[in-house]
C-alpha cells in the first residue's frame, strides 16, 4: 500500500508551521496577492464537503500563484455571531458563546488539517470584543455621516426567528433562514442608507471581473428605472398626488388612477358614500403579502373612492380607485392606469368596466410595446424615447411633472431583536434623544448572563445591568439600545480587518489597507449575490467617502465554486442522510487525495454528485505516482549509463512534460483544475513509459521528475513535499519557481519514410519523429495509396526500420 496518508500530512504541516514558510510579510519578494475565501460560520456540524470545495481548490490556486512569484496573503476566520448558535442555546441551554467557541476550536483543527496556506496569525473571529468593537465603530462612522438612521416603518418580521429581517433576507415572501412566511410589522428600527449608493453600486458593476449572473442579480436587485413623475390634481379639492410611470408616452390613454391601499391620501380622498367599502378593502389588503400582491396570475381587485383626478396633459377627469396591485413601497404608491397598453390595467379595466382607449399604434390590445403615439394631440407620430422626452418636457413646462429615476433597492434594515450579535452602540436619553456611544467607550460589550428565550422582545432589554446607563452628553440616567446588529454588518467589512487584525488603536491602518486591498481574488457561494456581496460593496464605498480607504470596490475578481451534492445527486442534508463528512475520507486517504478528487471529479464552478469510486481512483493515482517516483529515484541512484543523446523516447517525454507545463499554466490560472490533473496523469504515464526504456538519459529523467513534482505541488501539497524530499531536493518545493515550458519541445519534428510492399517502395509519408513502432505501423497502414494496394491481400508481417522505412509483407 501507499506511503502517503495523514502521517505525511502531519509531518509537513508541522514543518511548515515551524519554519513559518507561509507567513505573510509585505516585504517578501513578489507582488502582493490577497486571496480570500468567504469565512465560515462555526456550526456544530463542522467542516463539510462544501467548505472543502471552497477552500481546497482555492488554496491550490494560491499555491500556484505563489510558485509563480506572488507574495500570497490568504487569511481565515469565523463569522461567529448569528442565529444558529442562539437557537441551539434555546434548545440545549448551552450558551452561544460556549458552543461557538467549542465549534471554532474543532473547525480550526479541521481547517489546519487541510494543510492550506492560511495566515492563521491574521485570524479574526467576529464575536470577539476586539473585533466587534470595530464593527460598532463602523456603525458610528455611518451614523456620523447620516448613513445610519432610525425610523418607524413596516418591516419584515419572521415569526419563527422572532426578529425583523432585511429585504435581502426575504426570499419569495419567506425567511431566508427558516422559510417561515414573513409578515409585516410596524417597528422603529435602524437602517443603513445603502440607497445613497444605488447609482454607483450599479454603474461600477461593469468594471468587476465577477460572474455575469451575479452582476445581473445585483443589477436587478438595485432595479434602476427611468421614468416620469406626473402630478394629478384632485377635482374640487386642494389635494394632488404624483404617479411614477415609465411610459409617459401613453399619458393620453389614462382612463383612471389607482392608489395603494396604504397611501395616506386614500382616507382624505374617499367620499362618505364609499367609506365603508374602502375601509373593508384596506383591511383585506393588510392580510396579503407583497409577493401575492405582485403575482401576475392573481386577479386584480380594487374599489372606487368616489373622487376624480385631472390628467395633467389633457385636463380629462378620471376616477380614482384603490387597488392592492399598487405597492406603497415603490415609486409614489400611486399609478396612472392605461388599460390599452398595460396588462394589469387591462385586466382591471375589463373587470370593472372602465374605458380602454388606444394611444399607441400597433397590434391587438393590450399592446404593451413601444409604437407611434395616436389620439395624443400635438404628440401624434412621436415614438419611444423621443415621445417620452417630449411629453415629460411638456409636463415640466406646466410644472406638472419631471423626469424621475426609481430604484427597487431599499435601505438596509440592520436591527435584530436577538441576543447573539454585536450590540448597536447607541444610548437613548430622555433629554438628549439618540446619543452615539463615544468611541472611547467601545466596545459596548455583549453581557454573558442574559435571558434569551425569544418572545419578540430584544433579549438585551431584559438585562437591567446592560440597559441602564448614563447619557454621555448630560449624565442623566439613560437606556442602551437593546437590539443587536444584523450579522451581515460584521461581514460587510471583515476583509479590511484581516491584514491589520491586531490593531488595537484603529479598525485598520489606512496606508496598510490601501496597499493590501482590494482583494485580488474572492471565492465563495453564489447565494450571497444580493446580501453580503452587495453590503460589502456599499460599506467599502462609504468608508472610502469618509477617507478611511482609497478604493471603492472590495473584490476585484470573484469566483463562485459549484455545489457538491450527495451521492444521490441531491443537495446534502442531514435529514436526507446523504451528507459526506470529510473526516473519515481524510483519515483513510489523506487530505491531498480528498482535495485532488474534488478538483478532478468536478468542474470547479459547477460541482456535482459525490462518488466514493472517484475518490478511490484518485487514491490509486497517488499510489501510482508514489511508485513511479520511487523507481525513478532508484534509477537515478544507479547512474550506470552515461547516455546524453536525445532520441525519440526523450523527445516524447519532453513533449509531454512541456505540454503539461503549458496547459497547467493556462488552466490553473482559470481555476480549471480538472484538466490540470488530467495533464498530470498524462505526464505520469509518459514517465512510466520512459522508465521502461532500456537506455535512459538520466539528466532528462531527473529534469522531468523535478518538473513533475513542482507541477504536482499545488494540487497535492503534502504529498509533493514528501516526494521532493525523496528525490533529494532541498526544502521546500513551495519556495521553487513553477516550471516554464520550452516551446521548441512542443514542435513534433517530422521525417519522411518510405513504405514498401514486399520490398518495393509504393508510397512515402511524413510522420513525427517521436512515434512508437506501433504508431508508425498504423500510420503506414492508414496511407490511402497503401490501403488501395492491400485491398485484396492478407498481411503476413510488417517490418519497421525506425526513421527510414516500413516494409509490409503481404500475399
Contact residues for ligand ANZ, defined by CB under 6 A: 225, 244-247, 250, 260, 326-327, 330-331, 333, 335-336, 338, 341-342, 406
Q: Is 164 in the site for Zn ion (CB under 5 A)?
A: no
Beta strands in 225-315 (DSSP E): 225-234, 240-245, 256-259, 302-310
Nearest to 660 by CA among 612, 613, 597, 704: 704
**Least spacing, CB of residue 346 vs ligand ANZ, in Å:** 9
CB of 517 closer than 8 Å to CB of 510: no
Closest to ligand ANZ by CB, 102 vs 316, is 316
250 binds, among Zn ion, ligand ANZ, none (CB under 5 to 8 A by kind): ligand ANZ
Residue 625 interface partner, choices Zn ion, ligand ANZ, none, CB cut-off 5-8 Å depending on type: none
Nearer to ligand ANZ, 370 or 655 (CB): 370
CB of 34 to ligand ANZ, least distance (A): 38
Which one among 49, 117, 142, 158 touches Zn ion, defined by CB under 5 A?
Answer: 158
Q: Which of 649, 652, 679, 647 is nearest to 663 (CA)?
A: 679
Nearer to ligand ANZ, 253 or 607 (CB): 253
166 binds Zn ion (CB under 5 A): no
Phi–psi pair at 412, nearest 5 degrees: -85, 115
- Helices H, strands E: what count in the chain? 26, 31
Are the C-beta atoms of residues 423 and 432 closer than 8 Å to each other? no
Q: Does 680 bind Zn ion (CB under 5 A)?
A: no
Cell numbers representing residue 538 in the block: 456599499
CB of 576 to Zn ion, least distance (A): 21
Tell me how far apart the alpha carbons of residues 370 and 384 are, in angstroms, rounded to a whole number: 6
- CA atoms of 579 and 691, how far apart (whole Å): 42
For residue 257, list its beta bridge partners.
320, 336
Is 73 or 325 the residue whose CB approaches ligand ANZ more closely?
325
The CB-of-46 to Zn ion minimum distance in angstroms stands at: 23
Is 317 annotated in a binding site? The answer is no
Choose one: 29-37, 99-107, 176-184, 718-726; the region binding Zn ion (CB under 5 A).
176-184
Taking CB within 5 to 8 Å according to partner kind, which of ligand ANZ, Zn ion, none is near residue 224? none
Rank residues 333 and 552 by Cβ distance to ligand ANZ and give the closer one: 333
Residue 82 zone, left/alpha/beta (φ > 0; ψ -120 to 50; rest):
left
User: Which listed option, ligand ANZ, Zn ion, none, makes contact with residue 331 (CB within 5 to 8 Å by class)?
Assistant: ligand ANZ
Binding-site partner at residue 104 among Zn ion, ligand ANZ, none, CB < 5 to 8 Å by type: none
Outline where 72-128 has alpha helix (H): 83-92, 96-114
Record the cell numbers describing residue 91, joined without a space. Answer: 434548545
Quick count: other Cβ atoms within 10 Å of Cβ 228? 24
What is the per-residue burial (b if ≥16 Cβ within 10 Å, else e) of 233-254? bbeeeeeebbbbbebbbbbbbb
| Phi, psi (rounded to 5 degrees) for 668 | -65, -40
Question: Cβ closer to Zn ion: 531 or 599?
Answer: 531
With CB under 5 to 8 Å by kind, the binding choice for 178 among ligand ANZ, Zn ion, none is Zn ion
Residues in binding contact with Zn ion, number by CB under 5 A: 6
- Within 8 A by CB and 6+ apart from 381, the residues are 372, 373
Is 471 a binding residue for Zn ion by CB under 5 A? The answer is no
776 binds, among Zn ion, ligand ANZ, none (CB under 5 to 8 A by kind): none
User: Does residue 446 touch Zn ion according to CB under 5 A?
Assistant: no
Query: Is the previous residue joined to 518 through a cis bond, with omega within 30 degrees of 0?
Result: yes
Q: Which one of the spans 150-158, 460-468, 592-600, 796-804 is the region binding Zn ion (CB under 5 A)?
A: 150-158
State the Cα–Cα distance between residues 528 and 176, nearest whole angstrom: 11
Which DSSP string do the residues of 626-675 spell out, in sequence order? HHHHHHHHHHHHH---------HHHHHHHHHHHHHHHHHHHHHHTT-HHH
155 binds Zn ion, rule: CB under 5 A: no
- At 339, give phi and psi (nearest 5°): -60, -25
Least distance between ligand ANZ and beta carbon 325 (Å): 6
Q: Taking CB within 5 to 8 Å according to partner kind, which of ligand ANZ, Zn ion, none is near residue 158? A: Zn ion
Binding flag, residue 142, Zn ion (CB under 5 A) = no
Residue 359: which of Zn ion, ligand ANZ, none does it interact with, CB under 5 to 8 A by kind? none
Told to check if 170 binds Zn ion by CB under 5 A, we report: no
Q: Out of 76, 170, 175, 539, which residue is the one contacting Zn ion (CB under 5 A)?
A: 175
φ, ψ for residue 314 (rounded to 5)? -135, 5
Among 178, 216, 746, 801, binds Zn ion (CB under 5 A): 178
Name the residues that contact Zn ion, by CB under 5 A: 158, 160-161, 175, 177-178
Return binding residues.
Answer: 574
Return binding residues for ATP.
Answer: 574
Amino acid at each position: 500500500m501507499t506511503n502517503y496518508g495523514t502521517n505525511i500530512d502531519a509531518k509537513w504541516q508541522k514543518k511548515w508551521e515551524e519554519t513559518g514558510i507561509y507567513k505573510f510579510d509585505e516585504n517578501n519578494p513578489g507582488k502582493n496577492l490577497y486571496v480570500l475565501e468567504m469565512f465560515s460560520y462555526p456550526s456544530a456540524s463542522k467542516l463539510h464537503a462544501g467548505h472543502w470545495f471552497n477552500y481546497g481548490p482555492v488554496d491550490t490556486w494560491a499555491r500556484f500563484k505563489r510558485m509563480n512569484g506572488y507574495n500570497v496573503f490568504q487569511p481565515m476566520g469565523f463569522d461567529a455571531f448569528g442565529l444558529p448558535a442562539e437557537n441551539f442555546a434555546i434548545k440545549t441551554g448551552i450558551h452561544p458563546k460556549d458552543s461557538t467557541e467549542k465549534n471554532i476550536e474543532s473547525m480550526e483543527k479541521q481547517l489546519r488539517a487541510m494543510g492550506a496556506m492560511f495566515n492563521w496569525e491574521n485570524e479574526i473571529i467576529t464575536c470577539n470584543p476586539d473585533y466587534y468593537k470595530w464593527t460598532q465603530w463602523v456603525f458610528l462612522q455611518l451614523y456620523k455621516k447620516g448613513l445610519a438612521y432610525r425610523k418607524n416603518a413596516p418591516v419584515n418580521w419572521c415569526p419563527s426567528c422572532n426578529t425583523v429581517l432585511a429585504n435581502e433576507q426575504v426570499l419569495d415572501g419567506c425567511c431566508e433562514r427558516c422559510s417561515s412566511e414573513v409578515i409585516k410589522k410596524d417597528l422603529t428600527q435602524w437602517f443603513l442608507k445603502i440607497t445613497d449608493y444605488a447609482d454607483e453600486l450599479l454603474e461600477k458593476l461593469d468594471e468587476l471581473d465577477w460572474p455575469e449572473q451575479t452582476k445581473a442579480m445585483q443589477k436587478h436587485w438595485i432595479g434602476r428605472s427611468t421614468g416620469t413623475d406626473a402630478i394629478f390634481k384632485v377635482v374640487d379639492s386642494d389635494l394632488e398626488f404624483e404617479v411614477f410611470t415609465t411610459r409617459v408616452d401613453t399619458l393620453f390613454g389614462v382612463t383612471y388612477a389607482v392608489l395603494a391601499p396604504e397611501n395616506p391620501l386614500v382616507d382624505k380622498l374617499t367620499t362618505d358614500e364609499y367609506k365603508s367599502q374602502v375601509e373593508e378593502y384596506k383591511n383585506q389588503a393588510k392580510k396579503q403579502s407583497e409577493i401575492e400582491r405582485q403575482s401576475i396570475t392573481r386577479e386584480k381587485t380594487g374599489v372606487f373612492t368616489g373622487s376624480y383626478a385631472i390628467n395633467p396633459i389633457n385636463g380629462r377627469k378620471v376616477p380614482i380607485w384603490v387597488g392592492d396591485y399598487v405597492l406603497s413601497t415603490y415609486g409614489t404608491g400611486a399609478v396612472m392606469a392605461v388599460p390599452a397598453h398595460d396588462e394589469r390595467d387591462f385586466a382591471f379595466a375589463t373587470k370593472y368596466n372602465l374605458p380602454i382607449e388606444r394611444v399607441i399604434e400597433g397590434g391587438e390590445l393590450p399592446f404593451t410595446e413601444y409604437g407611434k403615439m395616436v389620439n395624443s394631440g400635438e404628440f401624434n407620430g412621436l415614438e419611444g424615447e423621443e415621445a417620452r422626452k417630449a411629453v415629460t418636457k411638456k409636463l415640466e413646462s406646466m410644472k406638472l411633472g419631471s423626469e424621475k429615476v426609481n430604484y427597487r433597492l431599499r435601505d438596509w434594515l440592520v436591527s435584530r431583536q436577538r441576543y447573539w450579535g454585536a450590540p448597536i452602540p447607541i444610548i437613548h436619553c430622555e433629554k438628549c434623544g439618540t446619543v452615539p456611544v463615544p468611541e472611547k467607550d467601545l466596545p459596548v460589550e455583549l453581557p454573558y448572563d442574559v435571558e434569551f428565550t425569544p418572545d419578540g422582545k430584544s433579549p438585551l432589554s431584559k438585562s437591567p445591568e446592560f440597559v441602564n446607563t448614563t447619557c454621555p452628553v448630560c449624565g442623566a440616567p439613560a437606556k442602551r439600545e437593546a437590539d443587536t446588529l444584523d450579522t451581515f454588518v460584521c461581514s460587510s467589512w471583515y476583509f479590511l480587518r484581516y491584514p491589520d487584525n491586531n490593531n488595537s488603536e484603529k479598525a485598520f491602518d489606512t496606508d496598510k489597507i490601501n496597499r493590501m486591498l482590494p482583494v485580488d481574488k474572492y471565492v465563495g457561494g453564489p447565494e450571497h449575490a444580493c446580501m453580503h456581496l452587495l453590503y460589502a460593496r456599499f460599506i467599502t464605498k462609504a468608508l472610502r467617502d469618509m477617507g478611511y480607504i482609497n478604493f471603492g470596490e472590495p473584490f476585484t475578481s470573484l469566483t463562485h465554486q459549484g455545489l457538491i451534492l450527495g451521492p444521490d445527486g441531491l443537495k446534502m442534508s442531514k435529514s436526507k442522510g446523504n451528507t459526506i463528512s470529510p473526516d473519515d475520507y481524510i483519515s483513510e486517504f489523506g487530505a491531498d487525495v480528498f482535495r485532488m478528487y474534488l478538483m478532478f471529479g468536478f468542474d470547479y464552478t459547477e460541482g456535482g454528485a459525490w462518488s466514493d469510486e472517484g475518490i478511490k481512483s484518485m487514491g490509486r493515482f497517488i499510489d501510482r505516482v508514489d511508485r513511479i517516483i520511487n523507481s525513478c529515484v532508484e534509477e537515478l541512484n544507479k547512474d550506470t549509463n552515461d547516455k546524453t543523446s536525445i532520441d525519440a523516447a526523450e523527445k516524447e517525454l519532453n513533449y509531454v512534460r512541456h505540454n503539461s507545463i503549458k496547459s497547467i499554466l493556462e488552466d490553473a490560472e482559470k481555476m480549471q483544475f480538472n484538466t490540470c490533473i488530467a495533464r498530470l496523469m498524462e505526464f505520469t504515464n509518459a514517465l512510466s513509459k520512459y522508465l521502461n526504456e532500456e537506455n535512459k538519459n538520466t539528466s532528462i529523467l531527473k529534469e522531468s521528475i523535478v518538473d513533475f513534482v513542482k507541477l504536482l505541488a499545488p494540487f497535492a501539497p503534502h504529498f509533493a513535499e514528501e516526494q521532493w524530499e525523496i528525490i533529494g531536493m532541498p526544502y521546500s518545493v513551495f519556495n521553487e519557481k513553477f516550471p516554464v515550458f520550452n516551446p521548441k519541445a512542443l514542435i513534433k519534428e517530422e521525417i519522411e519514410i518510405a513504405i514498401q510492399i514486399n520490398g518495393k517502395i509504393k508510397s512515402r509519408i511524413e510522420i513525427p519523429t517521436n512515434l512508437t513502432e506501433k504508431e508508425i505501423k498504423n500510420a503506414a497502414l492508414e496511407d490511402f495509396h497503401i490501403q488501395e494496394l492491400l485491398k485484396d491481400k492478407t498481411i503476413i508481417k510488417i517490418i519497421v526500420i525506425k526513421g527510414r522505412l516500413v516494409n509490409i509483407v503481404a500475399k
